Amino acid sequence: MRRMILPIIHLNGTSRESLVDDACTARSALESAIEALCQMRPNGRDYYPAPGTLGPATDEHEQRIQAVRRVSDELTEWAQKVMDME
């Protein structure tokens, strides 16, 4: 993973707690988005009139889920690093 650019915690900036809380709120929303994406997984009944399209549609959909999952994981890592900062 690439190097993360982390905020500098100081008296005139956003508190560590607020930064972490905001990251956790965003991560929670992404997890809800992943659940919603999983609900709309391609169904074979919607693709059988065009043979050979279900596999690619499923792959494409999985790539969407993985993209959101990557962002969620990155926010988790970011929040952990902010919490661990001295």
Full residue range of the structural domain in which residue 67 is found: 16-84
Q: What is the pLDDT of residue 2?
A: 73
pTM, entire model: 0.87
Residue 6 lies in a domain: no
CA–CA distance, 58 with 43 (Å, rounded to integer): 9
Tell me the per-residue pLDDT of 5-58, one tens digit each, with 9 for 90 and over. Answer: 999 999 999 999 999 999 999 999 999 999 999 999 999 999 999 999 999 999
In the chain, beta strands by DSSP E:
none
pLDDT tens-digit map of 49-61: 999 999 999 999 9
Count up the domains in the chain and report the number.
1
- What pLDDT was estimated at residue 1? 55
